[in-house]
Amino acid sequence: MSNNEIDAFRPAAGLGNRHLQTMIPVLSGRSLAVHYTRQELTLEDGDFVDLDWTAMPDRASRLPIVVLFHGLGGDSQSHYTKSLMQAVASAGWVGVVMNFRGCSGRRNKAPRLYHSGETGDAGFFIDWLRQQFPLAPLFAAGFSLGGNMLLKLAGEQKNTLALSALVSVSAPVKLDESTRHMMKGLPRIYQAYLLKALKRKFLQKFPDHDYKSLIDVERQDILKCKDIREFDHLITARLHGFTGAEDYYQQSSAYPYIEQIEKPCLILHANDDPIAPSFILPDSHVLPQQVTLEVTEKGGHVGFLGGTIARPHYWLADRIMHYFSQQQRQG
């Protein structure tokens, strides 16, 4: 493979099924190891997020920095996070994961957590990076929820966004339809998994805050939630100023923001994604010239596992770094 080419994605033998592509990388990725240096970043409201760096650059560094925003229930130890951070380090670049509020293994201070359309923390972090490392080109990749958030942020900030380029992977750009899709058939297994993680994380915060007074919610209300839509209506919407789940989904979906993106952007998606179905994607013919939509036939949700089961190849990391390298050369 030359510097100007990258092989098209081919699933590992026996892993062509969408659900295997989605689940097996979670298991195989446990063996991936990345050494991080942790840094706490204080946010504007006094809360914090933890940053995990592959290496700490100095202020005069000109090495490109790749920022990663993880998905719902993810963190710096997720399989896609570690595979990309390994690729970044191998290229001689610097990688940093912004663990969303409450996702780093430490409970955040504020009553709120994070959500699919929360661009404030990411925008603050990117601006902080630009101030701290003024000579370093900045790139960002977002996965699933983080991908939706990143696209929305890029559409909101347009040309003022301090990134050279961005990549979004498996993003549920229409939150309402993606949530509805997970309530039917086999995709319900993903909803059950994600809902369990949401409940656990939120219940851990109950000793720190009076949620009965704040949003009229008690522990038993959380335990009774049957699906993510109910959780979002009861918790996510109320905590973040939305009138309900529908309002939250409408205001937080990246779809209407994509046509406003002015920075080079690659949207990666699989046609067989079981969580964020490909029919939610915009028509490539109406996208801005600088936005590229790349849809593979196979890959599942944040899967794209090639190679073999014994020797897995995380294609996403190669594809993302190839795109960023192209943009760096052109810039």
pLDDT tens string 246-284: 999 999 999 999 999 999 999 999 999 999 999 999 998
Checking if the pLDDT of 2 tops 70, the result is no
Question: CA-to-CA distance for 114 and 47, rounded, in angstroms?
Answer: 12
Q: At what angle do helices 79-90 and 18-28 cross, to 10 degrees?
A: 70
The pLDDT of residue 49: 98
Ordered by start, the domain boundaries in the chain are: 18-174+254-330, 175-252
Residue-wise pLDDT tens digits, 232-252: 999 999 999 999 999 999 999
Catalytic site residue from 50, 52, 232, 273: 273
Which token pair is 111? 């009553």
Identify whether 273 is a catalytic site residue. yes
Helices 79-90 and 315-330, axial angle in degrees (round to 10): 40
Among the listed residues 189, 182, 217, the one whose alpha carbon sits nearest the alpha carbon of residue 203: 217
Q: At residue 175, what are phi and psi to the nearest 5 degrees?
A: -65, -40
Measured CA to CA in angstroms, residue 10 lies from 85, 299, 312 at distances of 22, 8, 12
Give the model's pLDDT for residue 4. Answer: 52
Among residues 167, 116, 201, 128, the alpha carbon closest in space to that of 294 is found at 167
Catalytic hit among 144, 164, 252, 253:
144
Check if 301 is active-site. yes
Q: Of 48-62, 78-92, 154-168, 176-190, which gets the smallest average pLDDT?
A: 176-190
**pLDDT at position 186, please?**
86
Closest to 66 in 3D by CA, of 271, 325, 250: 325
Overall average pLDDT of the 174-188 stretch: 92
* pTM score: 0.96
Active-site residue identified among 76, 168, 301, 318: 301
Tokens 């013919």 locate to: 285
Mean pLDDT of the region 188-207: 93
Residue 85 to residue 82: CA distance in whole angstroms = 5
pLDDT of residue 309: 85
Smallest CA-to-CA distance from 304 within 20, 81, 4 is with 20
Burial class from Cβ neighbours inside 10 Å (0-12, 13-18, 19+) for residue 237 reads: buried
Of 205, 268, 280, the residue nearest 47 (C-alpha): 205
Q: How confident is the model at residue 24 (pLDDT cuts 50, 70, 90)?
A: very high
What is the fold of 18-174+254-330?
A: Rossmann fold (3.40.50)
Percentage of the residues of the chain whose pLDDT score is greater than 70: 98
Model confidence at 64: pLDDT above 60: yes
What is the structure's pLDDT at 210?
96
Tell me how far apart the alpha carbons of residues 130 and 138 are, in angstroms, rounded to a whole number.
8
Q: Cβ–Cβ contacts within 10 Å for residue 190, how many?
A: 18
